[in-house]
Amino acid sequence: MVHTHKLSPRKSLKVVKRIGLGLIALVALLVIFKAFLNKEEPDVFKDIKDTYEKYLVTKDGVKLEEAVVDGQAVDISSDTQKDGEVEKEGEVEELTKEYPLDEEGEPDIYKLNVEFYDLNKYTGLSEGDKEGDYILFLMPLRNAEHVLPMAFFNIMNLTYDHSLIDIAFLVSDCSPEDTTLETVFSYSMLLQNGTLAAKLQADEEEKRNANVQGSSELYKLYMPQDYMENVEKSYLHPEKQHPGFQKPFRSVTIFRKDFGQVIGQGFSDRHAVKVQGIRRKLMGRARNWLTASALKPYHSWIYWRDVDIETAPGSVIQDLMKHNFDVMVPNVWRPLPTFLGNEQAYDLNTWIESDPAIELAKKLDEDDVIVEGYAEYPTWRVHLAYIRKPKGDPNEVVEMDGVGGVSILARAKIFRQGVHFPAFTFLNHAETEAFGKMAKVMKFSVGGLPHYTIWHIYEPSEDDLKKIAQMERKKRRKGH
Ligand SMILES: *[C@@H]1O[C@H](CO)[C@@H](O)[C@H](O)[C@H]1NC(C)=O
Ligand SMILES: *[C@@H]1O[C@H](CO)[C@@H](O)[C@H](O)[C@H]1NC(C)=O
């Protein structure tokens, strides 16, 4: 049965009112919803607490040097040991200080209590290795446990005199079950007592035995053979080619501090470009904090290095240094399985600025961050990666504007003068790309080496592993 309902005029007026109110409410909701969807960058910085720990690692143990919780220094006079057995200051070599004398020929009491550095001595020379320039080696780490053996191997492989290099790691935002920090502690101790190479070799051996026909290694059969052979050679007996391989470094410091992640900030995939921008700003903040915390007056150069580089010439620091640029980066590629084309440009953040990108930037909001590799931002820039010729001259230098962060050598003086990794939008860029731009604006030289390549590790994606499993099944069906 159907009920028909005749409305009186009064009633219908009420309904119209109600519909009207409903519409207004709906519009209001839509406005709020839209604002939410379009919400500009969430305040990802508000979660960064002024909380950190600083550890000094020597061959004798790990010493907690400083701990700050919510801006308050924690008393660490007791219980300073973690893992190590003996409480002992590291054997960090003292620098010679110069104390000028006063008129009577006595040491000047003011200057005695003041550390005196002539910064003109630490400007960074192109032959820094021969001149004894001190290097600050910086490496950010996040859930990096599985690549640490590789990273430490690469660190030992550096032929720049280890006793001139201070290493500082920044361990941030690791997941609860991850043991990056603990592993860095123990590797650093072994590094400083000269036994790390043996330990890594033993671990590798053990892994190989436990994983005789391990499926996790299956993808290696599909990698370019010349690449794999080079990797094999690179990790074999380096101590024979490089006499300083096991030499301890001047110091190893580990900072632990969280900077937060963009994940869970209410962004969906369609905001991928925006997420990139925010992510880069957080990373910029972390890089600046590490630089500011680890830089000493006597450092002449800073070398930034990512943890996941598989092979790089041992002389990479000298090779980047010798061109006398304030900022210098190599080319960064990664290998791929042969069915995906053997190799691929890894770093698209090192580029020469283009007119279309400058025009594009004019149309963007002041806060927008251009990221390379997204259809939203057709920049038509020349990427260092794509001007590489495998047989090109490794000494050829090209001036760059933006740089990627995988491996940056920069003069320490440019940081002292204010160049940094913007954690805000600077000329429509953030982090390392903005760092390159800022260095240029401040009249420092920024270069890249198109034909000098270091290799990022390839880790097979889910899709690649599926494809490989498929090919293996086919092989077996054919009875190979
Ligand atoms: C190096 O350190 C490890 C771990 O603390 C220790 O077991 C080993 O004996 C040390 N070796 C040398 C040569 O000092
Ligand atoms: C170590 O340095 C040598 C010499 O430059 C190089 O051939 C090799 O690939 C490097 N090893 C690694 C693991 O990068």
HEC letters along 227-286: HHHHHHHHCCCHHHHCCCCCCCCCEEEEEECCCCCCCCCCCCHHHHHHHHHHHHHHHHHH
Distance CA 16, CA 298 (A): 78
Q: First-to-last CA distance in the chain?
A: 74
Ligand 2 neighbour 124 (Cβ under 6 A):
no
Compute CA distances 69 → 181, 257, 278, whole Å: 18, 10, 25
Residue 395: CB within 6 Å of ligand 1? no
For residues 196 and 442, the answer to whether their CB atoms sit within 8 Å is no
255 CA from centroid of ligand 2 (Å): 27
Q: What is the pLDDT along the chain (480 residues), one digit of tens a residue?
A: 445 555 565 667 787 788 888 888 888 887 766 655 555 566 778 888 889 999 999 999 999 999 999 999 998 875 544 444 444 344 444 444 455 677 777 766 666 667 777 888 888 888 888 889 999 999 999 999 999 999 999 999 999 999 999 999 999 999 999 999 999 999 999 999 999 999 999 998 888 888 665 667 889 999 999 999 999 999 988 888 899 999 999 999 999 999 987 765 555 555 678 888 989 999 999 999 999 999 999 999 999 999 999 999 999 999 999 999 999 999 999 999 999 999 999 999 999 999 999 999 999 999 999 998 888 899 999 999 999 998 999 999 999 999 999 999 999 999 999 999 999 999 999 999 999 999 999 999 999 999 999 999 999 999 999 999 999 999 888 875
H/E stretch holding 465 reads: helix 462-477
The structure's pTM equals 0.84
Tell me, in angstroms, the distance from the centre of ligand 2 to residue 202's CA: 20
CB of 195 closer than 6 A to ligand 1? yes
Rounded to the nearest angstrom, the distance between the alpha carbon of 123 and the centre of ligand 1 is 37
- Please give the number of the atom of ligand 2 that sits closest to the Cα of 150: 13
Helices (H) and strands (E) in the chain, counts: 14, 16
CA 63 to chain centre: 25
Q: What is the residue type of 138?
A: L
CA 266 to chain centre: 25
How far, in Å, CA of 135 to CA of 115, rounded?
Answer: 20
Looking at 270-370, list the stretches that DSSP marks H as alpha helix, in order from N- to C-terminal side: 272-294, 316-321, 355-363
Q: Whose CA is nearest to atom 9 of ligand 2?
A: 234
108 touches 100 (CB < 8 A): yes
